[in-house]
Amino acid sequence: MSRKSADAFRKISGNSGALRPSKTAQSLAPPLVKFFTNGLLRGAADVTSANYADETMSESIEQHAAYDSKVEGNIIFTQADAAINWMRKNSLWPMPMGLACCAIELMGSASSRFDISRFGAEVMRFSPRQSDVMIVAGTVTYKMALAVKRVWDQMPEPKWCIAMGACASSGGMYRSYAVLQGIDNLIPVDVYISGCPPRPEALIEGLMKLQDKIEKSESSKEHFKSEKTA
Amino acid sequence: MISSLTTLQDRFGESILEVVEFRGEQTLTVDPTRAKEILKYCFDELAFDYLIDISSLDNLGTEPRWTMVYEIYTMANRANHHLRIKYDLTEDSKADSVSDIWPTAGWHEREIYDMMGIEFNDLADHRRILMWEGYPYFPLRKDFPLAGRPSEMPDVAFTEKAPLAGGPFVTSSTSATTVHREPRSREID
Ligand code: SF4
């Protein structure tokens, strides 16, 4: 769990509808939710295992019920996947890979009229090391292709890729000696957006599709797997 | 503006092989060996201070293979006169760089080298300009397929053949019947 995800959680934790609390948790927790960051993963792990063993469940509830809500704020019980995915999907920091005309539309999406920050993706990072989703916006020439791949390789997991526009998805109208016929030849793409260029609405819809995908991912499994191997 | 043409003809006589005037445009075909001298004279004496473009033609299948085209322009004395100077170049010879006359020629010549593979004498910076150093082909040549050719330079770049679905489709407008004039796939290798 990165720190910024936790920050994002705090930022939007007023919006409890987005989180899917379990039944027990709902009965325990008042609508306003505060996350206790230091205990997140331990607590989350407890709850995950509790799904499979009811005894542990009651134990962990007792543990948490001892938590002083007046001093510390309120607690919500949920599944680790739901919590992690919710934080991830609402704080996607894009790596803007603007290579041609589509990049203009990407800038439009980030600006006031379309305002991609409504979906938590306003923080364009020009450093791959701080980014979650690479938006390939434009024509990927062969001269640029390996550079894009290198930037992608520098992004830390978990990471996603949006191929924005015909060029990034398939080479577009450039059936040519100079243009890579789709960025998916080099890096795995999660969402393809059609259009030449796509309207900002289309980009935002693509982003929402990606959010749906993230929401369905088994992130905690991945997380604990990587923790074990580390 | 007539005067600059006559001055050139007086001065270089035989070396000016052909003059074509079409709707106020003047195109001179000149002797390749004296081409640079003529261009320099245009700059020095006739005040053609603006090099609009240099381009090259690939006359594949006829000799000589290349044609160099210089578009020059004068803004001095409000003359606003445009002159086109051409010369032919055999495949094995090099063109003379004019980057010492018009510094802007450097990039045009690098582009010609990159796309056509024509080399230049005395061009200070003789690198490719669009493709990467080490790309093995010259893509604007007529014998280079539109789809490109596969190539590989580890850690720099690679290319693949683009899928053209049977194309490019070419019409032969002079063919006798409609059946022959239909667009046909004409793929090189
Ligand atoms: S898809 Fe269209 S608008 Fe986008 S980069 Fe390609 S040519 Fe430009």
Does position A70 have pLDDT exceeding 60, yes or no?
yes
Cβ proximity of A162 and A184 under 8 Å: no
> In terms of DSSP H, where are the helices of chain B?
2-12, 35-44, 105-116, 178-181
Asked which of A169-183, A212-226, B100-114 is least confident by mean pLDDT, the reply is A212-226
Does position B102 have pLDDT exceeding 60, yes or no?
yes
Domains, chain B, ordered by start: 2-140 (3.30.460.80), 145-189 (no CATH)
Chain B hits for A143, Cβ within 8 Å: 130-132, 157
Chain A hits for B162, Cβ within 8 Å: 171, 174-177, 179, 181
Contact A178 B148 (CB under 8 A): yes
Contact B132 A176 (CB under 8 A): no
More confident site: A36 or B118: B118
pTM above threshold 0.80: no
Instruction: Using DSSP, state whether B30 is helix, strand or coil.
Output: strand
Does position A63 have pLDDT exceeding 70, yes or no?
no
* Confidence at residue B114, expressed as pLDDT on a 0 to 100 scale: 94
* Range A88-217 classified under CATH 3.40.190.10: no
Domain spans of chain A?
3-78, 88-217
Compute the Cα dihedral for A110, A116, A122, A125 and give only its sign.
negative
Give the angle A47-A53-A56 at the CA atoms, nearest 5°. Answer: 60
For residue A191, the CA-to-ligand 1 centroid distance in Å is: 16
Element (H, E) at A5: helix A3-12
More confident site: A219 or B105: B105
Ramachandran category for residue A182: left, alpha or beta (phi over 0 → left; psi -120 to 50 → alpha): left
Among A139, A140, A141, A142, most B C-beta atoms within 10 A, so best to mutate, is A142
A184 and B CB contact within 8 Å: no
Q: Is the ipTM of this complex over 0.90?
A: no
For residue A165, the CA-to-ligand 1 centroid distance in Å is: 6
Does position A29 have pLDDT exceeding 80, yes or no?
no
From first CA to last CA, the distance across chain A in angstroms is 15
B131 and A CB contact within 8 Å: yes
| Residue A151 pLDDT level (bands cut at 50, 70, 90) | very high
Task: Label the pairing between strands B120-121 and B95-96.
Answer: parallel
Question: Minimal Cα–Cα distance from B107 to chain A, Å?
Answer: 18
Task: Name the token pair of A128.
Answer: 């791959």
* Confidence at residue A65, expressed as pLDDT on a 0 to 100 scale: 56
Q: In DSSP terms, which residues pair with A215 in a beta bridge?
A: none
